[in-house]
């Protein structure tokens, strides 16, 4: 069974082994990246790709279970996923 972290990394190719924190822009190796639930699990957020984003450990620990940026993060994450899907079609 694939966990949400594996699901995220399997769906998002790295840039030569590097990932980017969507909050601060820090470049990270896979082992240093946290996969965050945009809508926290404590509020019913699921493990679907639409609810996962890459954060550095500092940004993820700072966010905790906050809902402050949930709408913006969800829109940004899914707009990026939609664009990538569209680009793959053409």
Q: What is the token pair recorded at 78?
A: 């899914």
Residue ranges covered by each domain of the chain: 4-88
Residue 40, number of CB atoms within 10 A of its CB: 16
The domain 4-88 is placed in CATH, from the list 1.10.287, 1.25.10, 1.10.10, 1.10.30, at 1.10.30
E strands within the chain?
18-20, 27-29, 33-37, 52-56
pLDDT band at 90 (very low <50, low <70, confident <90, very high): low
Q: How confident is residue 88, by pLDDT bands cut at 50, 70 and 90? A: confident
pLDDT tens sequence across 42-78: 999 999 999 999 999 999 999 999 999 999 999 998 8
**What is the value of pTM for the model shown?**
0.84
CA dihedral defined by 9, 15, 17, 23, rounded to 10 degrees? -70
């Amino acid at each position: 069974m694939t966990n949400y972290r594996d699901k995220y990394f399997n769906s998002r190719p790295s840039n030569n082994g590097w990932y980017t924190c969507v909050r601060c822009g820090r470049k990270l190796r896979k082992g240093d990246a946290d996969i965050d639930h945009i809508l926290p699990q404590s509020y019913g957020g699921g493990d679907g790709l639409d609810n996962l984003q890459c954060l550095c450990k500092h940004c993820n620990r700072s966010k905790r279970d906050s809902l402050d940026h949930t709408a913006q993060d969800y829109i940004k994450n899914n707009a990026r996923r939609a664009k990538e899907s569209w680009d793959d079609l053409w």
